[in-house]
């Protein structure tokens, strides 16, 4: 085994340690004492609604702690496995679909059914924004799907995307609280940099990020306003009606990207001074600059989420594009010593592909060219997946059942 293979194994080991630290079942189990501190009143019951990519694992832990609870799980297709004691619904991600529309209706019905003596336990994780579309009147599912596609290709970060999503939804931005006659406690697994609870799954149990006017101004800034469906532009331009103050809820953060990075540090990684945040090309340049300062065998760990502005119609994801950009820049630097860079999503899926991300090194670009791919053309078309597959650089681990954004590991020199 050469140095690259050993380094790649080390990088993957650190990444998987970060994923393990985001185990959603353990996160919920640790928080149950706080949940049980406010039990249902006499004659009441627990109503558990779990939403997001980690919903099933979170719900499984809640069922063990709250036997007899009414439980609804809404998650993505990859994680939708039957669970005793719960109704499990699967839906599309990242673009909402008809199954998600049905899931949104089911969540609405559950919330409307609760009584003041009941207690609602909301289990929230990343991916929830797309999984339960509940369009405001006048907006169709196809309108929402088109908005999602435009935002995904605009270079918007997750906070900006969810600002727009909230203004078009009856369930996001505190919508669960308005529907429930019972008190709500939420356990939240964060997939966003900075752990802003308003952004995670578009904040079903917290106040909105902003207003319709804020969302309209953002869409103009992103250059997508003219391409939005007519009904969406009309809604965002209309004055919002007055609404009552949002009911209170207890929102408890139980897992995050920062906790995963701490686990990687405990395994010997040095943590990068700044998170992965913003344009993928700029982040790749920053990573290569930091890699140039590493000691031989010193692993450097990153966490966060980059953004990609689509200029083509290829197949890929932000982590695959980040890894390829790092490989191209490293070649331009003329690096000859062994080096490795891994970038992947903690949910096991990067964009609309089966890969979690990629592991690249000194041979990646050479192998890519030998297979007939021009790296710069690939990047211009946002078509990193087939090129990385040809180079043997994809990281495929399957759905993990959790989601705390992305993790990356860089190494130079022998381990």
Q: Are 318 and 283 in contact (CB under 8 A)?
A: no
- What is the pLDDT at residue 2? 66
Q: Are 197 and 172 in contact (CB under 8 A)?
A: no
My answer on whether 163 and 214 are in the same domain is yes
**Average pLDDT of the segment spanning 24-28:** 95
My answer on whether 34 and 144 are in the same domain is yes
Q: Are 121 and 188 in contact (CB under 8 A)?
A: no
Tell whether the model's pLDDT for residue 3 goes beyond 90.
no
Tell whether the model's pLDDT for residue 165 goes beyond 80.
yes
How many residues are present in the chain?
415
CA–CA dist 372, 374 (Å, integer): 7
DSSP code of 100? H
How confident is the model over 222-250, as pLDDT tens digits?
Answer: 999 999 999 999 999 999 888 888 998 99
**Average pLDDT of the segment spanning 202-209:** 96
Q: The CATH number of the domain where 313 resides is what?
A: 3.40.1480.10
CA–CA dist 217, 349 (Å, integer): 31
Range of the domain at 72: 23-255
- What is the pLDDT at residue 79? 94
Tell whether the model's pLDDT for residue 411 goes beyond 70.
yes
My answer on whether 240 and 267 are in the same domain is no
My answer on whether 30 and 9 are in the same domain is no
My answer on whether 108 and 203 are in the same domain is yes
Of 108-112, 308-312, 392-396, give the lowest mean pLDDT range.
308-312
My answer on whether 158 and 291 are in the same domain is no
- What is the pLDDT at residue 1? 36
Tell whether the model's pLDDT for residue 336 goes beyond 90.
no
CA–CA dist 84, 63 (Å, integer): 9
Q: Are 344 and 11 in contact (CB under 8 A)?
A: no
**Average pLDDT of the segment spanning 130-159:** 94
User: pLDDT > 90: what percent of the chain?
Assistant: 94
How confident is the model over 242-297, as pLDDT tens digits?
Answer: 888 899 899 999 999 999 999 999 999 999 999 999 999 999 999 999 999 999 99
Q: The CATH number of the domain where 43 resides is what?
A: 3.40.50.10180
Tell whether the model's pLDDT for residue 391 goes beyond 50.
yes
My answer on whether 237 and 330 are in the same domain is no
CA–CA dist 285, 350 (Å, integer): 21
**Average pLDDT of the segment spanning 58-71:** 97
* Domain end among 255, 286, 307: 255
- What is the pLDDT at residue 94? 86
My answer on whether 57 and 160 are in the same domain is yes
Q: Which two tokens stand for residue 370?
A: 């030998």
Query: Nearest to residue 329, comparing CAs of 278, 294, 283?
Result: 283
My answer on whether 193 and 294 are in the same domain is no
Residue keyed to tokens 């065998």:
297
Q: Are 72 and 110 in contact (CB under 8 A)?
A: yes
Query: What is the number of structural domains in the chain?
Result: 2
User: pLDDT > 70: what percent of the chain?
Assistant: 99
- What is the pLDDT at residue 413? 84
Q: How far, in Å, are 286, 321, 328, 365, 401 from residue 384 at the CA level?
A: 20, 6, 12, 11, 25
pTM above 0.85, yes or no: yes
Q: pLDDT averaged over the chain?
A: 95
- What is the pLDDT at residue 32? 96
* Domain end among 255, 279, 300: 255
How confident is the model over 40-60, as pLDDT tens digits?
Answer: 999 999 999 999 999 999 999
- What is the pLDDT at residue 40? 97
- What is the pLDDT at residue 146? 95
């Amino acid at each position: 085994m050469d140095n690259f293979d050993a380094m790649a194994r080390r990088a993957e080991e650190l990444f998987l340690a970060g994923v393990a630290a985001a185990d959603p079942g353990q996160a919920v189990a640790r928080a149950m004492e706080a949940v049980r501190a406010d039990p249902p009143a006499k004659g009441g019951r627990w109503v558990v609604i779990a939403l997001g990519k980690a919903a099933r694992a979170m719900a499984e832990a809640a069922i063990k702690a709250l036997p007899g609870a009414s439980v609804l799980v809404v998650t993505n297709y990859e994680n939708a496995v039957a669970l005793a004691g719960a109704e499990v619904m699967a839906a599309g991600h990242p673009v909402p679909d008809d199954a998600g529309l049905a899931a949104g209706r089911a969540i609405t019905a559950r919330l409307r059914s609760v009584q003041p003596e009941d207690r609602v336990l909301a289990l929230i994780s990343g991916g929830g924004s797309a999984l339960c579309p509940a369009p405001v009147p006048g907006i169709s599912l196809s309108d929402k799907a088109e908005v999602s596609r435009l935002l995904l290709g605009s270079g918007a970060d997750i906070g900006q995307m969810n600002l727009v999503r909230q203004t078009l939804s009856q369930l996001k931005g505190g919508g669960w609280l308005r529907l429930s006659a019972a008190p709500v406690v939420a356990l939240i697994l964060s997939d966003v940099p900075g752990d802003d609870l308003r952004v995670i799954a578009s904040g079903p149990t917290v106040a909105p990020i902003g207003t319709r006017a804020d969302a309209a101004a953002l869409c103009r800034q992103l250059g997508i306003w003219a391409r939005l469906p007519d009904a969406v532009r009309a809604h965002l331009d209309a004055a919002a009606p007055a609404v009552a103050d949002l009911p209170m809820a207890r929102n408890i953060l139980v897992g995050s990207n920062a906790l995963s990075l701490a686990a990687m540090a405990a395994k010997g990684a040095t943590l990068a001074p700044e998170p992965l945040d913003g344009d993928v090309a700029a982040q790749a340049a920053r990573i290569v600059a930091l890699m140039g300062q590493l000691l031989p065998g010193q692993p450097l760990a990153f966490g966060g989420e980059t953004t990609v502005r689509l200029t083509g119609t290829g197949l890929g994801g932000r982590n695959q594009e980040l890894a390829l950009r790092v490989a191209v820049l490293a070649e331009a630097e003329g690096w000859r010593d062994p080096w490795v860079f891994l970038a992947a999503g903690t949910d096991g899926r990067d964009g609309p592909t089966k890969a979690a991300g990629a592991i690249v090194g000194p041979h990646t670009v050479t192998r890519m060219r030998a297979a007939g791919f021009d790296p710069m053309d690939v990047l211009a078309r946002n078509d990193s997946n087939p090129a990385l597959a040809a180079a043997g650089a994809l990281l495929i681990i399957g759905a993990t059942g959790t989601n705390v954004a992305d993790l990356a590991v860089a190494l130079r020199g022998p381990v």
